[in-house]
């Protein structure tokens, strides 16, 4: 949901977008098929998938045999946190951006419905941008690459409204950490945040869910 909205915003700003997805050993591999589909639907220039085996690193319920927690999110860093994931994804994005000679790197991170992930905060992103410009040939060529996170200060409801205005079809997005036969579970922290967002936006979530308690899917 966030990545797709981020793409729609970048395209609306006039960027030629090269989209990147990561096959990292996640349980929710359905997001890879949907990422490719959204990239095509929103008319990105090109889509790429990079394989990086974060299962080998471990330490997260998203890539390990560990169970994905159900129920509301607390204040602590949850077990679905994947160690240094955004640093890894952004570094790989940076590599491709360097090959393309890209002006900017976009990420759908957001810190409002902050579920305790350190790598979704503004100070992390600022620091990454500084590092990125030292890590690459940009520095010796007098160019700069900008790191953009247009959703950073938006709540989920605002993200959904913004995306809907830009024509995003959320029926082909996936947020669930623990899908059952490619349908969202409706109970993990990502599903809860998403459903709350749709409810606040006064919209119905068009994505497929396993549990179909009508009340949970937002008020139409």
> Residue numbers of the site for a copy of itself (CB under 8 A)?
48-54, 56-59, 77, 81-88, 90-92, 94-96, 98-99, 116, 118-119, 121, 123-124, 127-128, 130-132, 134-137, 139-140
Instruction: Classify burial at 43, counting beta carbons within 10 Å of its beta carbon; exposed 0-12, middle 13-18, buried 19 or more.
Output: exposed
Token readout for 107 is 């990420």
Annotate 103-127 with b (16+ C-beta within 10 A) or e (fewer).
eebbbbbbbebebebebbbeebbee
Instruction: Classify burial at 28, counting beta carbons within 10 Å of its beta carbon; exposed 0-12, middle 13-18, buried 19 or more.
Output: buried
Q: For a copy of itself, give the closer residue by CB, 1 or 82.
A: 82
- 184 DSSP assignment: B
Q: For a copy of itself, give the closer residue by CB, 18 or 196.
A: 18
Min dist. Cβ of residue 28 to a copy of itself (A): 19
Q: For a copy of itself, give the closer residue by CB, 130 or 211.
A: 130
DSSP characters for 99-142?
A: HHT-SEEE----STT--S-GGGSHHHHHHHHHHHHHHSTHHHHT
Beta strand 104-106 with 146-148: parallel, antiparallel or unpaired? Answer: parallel
Q: For a copy of itself, give the closer residue by CB, 98 or 216.
A: 98
Q: For a copy of itself, give the closer residue by CB, 105 or 207.
A: 105
Q: For a copy of itself, give the closer residue by CB, 33 or 77.
A: 77
Min dist. Cβ of residue 133 to a copy of itself (A): 9
Q: Which residues neighbour 144 within 8 Å (Cβ) at sequence distance 6 or greater?
A: 133, 138
């Amino acid at each position: 949901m966030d990545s797709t909205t981020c793409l729609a915003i970048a395209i609306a700003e006039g960027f030629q977008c090269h989209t990147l997805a990561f096959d990292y050993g996640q349980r929710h591999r359905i997001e890879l098929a949907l990422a490719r589909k959204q990239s095509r639907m929103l008319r990105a220039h090109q889509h790429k998938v990079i394989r990086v085996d974060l299962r080998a690193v471990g330490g997260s319920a998203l890539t390990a045999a560990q169970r994905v927690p159900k129920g509301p999110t607390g204040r602590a860093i949850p077990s679905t946190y994947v160690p240094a994931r955004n640093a890894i994804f952004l570094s790989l994005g940076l590599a491709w951006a360097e090959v393309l000679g890209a002006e900017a790197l976009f990420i759908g991170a957001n810190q409002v419905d902050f579920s305790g992930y350190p790598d979704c905060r503004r100070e992390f992103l600022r620091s990454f941008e500084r590092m990125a410009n030292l890590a690459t040939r940009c520095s010796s060529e007098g160019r700069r690459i900008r790191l953009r996170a247009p959703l950073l200060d938006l709540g989920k409801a605002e993200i959904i409204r913004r995306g809907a205005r830009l024509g995003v079809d959320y029926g082909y997005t996936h947020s669930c950490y623990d899908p059952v036969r490619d349908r969202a579970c409706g109970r993990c922290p990502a599903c809860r945040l998403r459903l709350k967002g749709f409810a606040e936006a006064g919209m119905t979530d068009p994505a497929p869910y396993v549990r179909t308690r009508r009340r949970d899917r937002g008020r139409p």
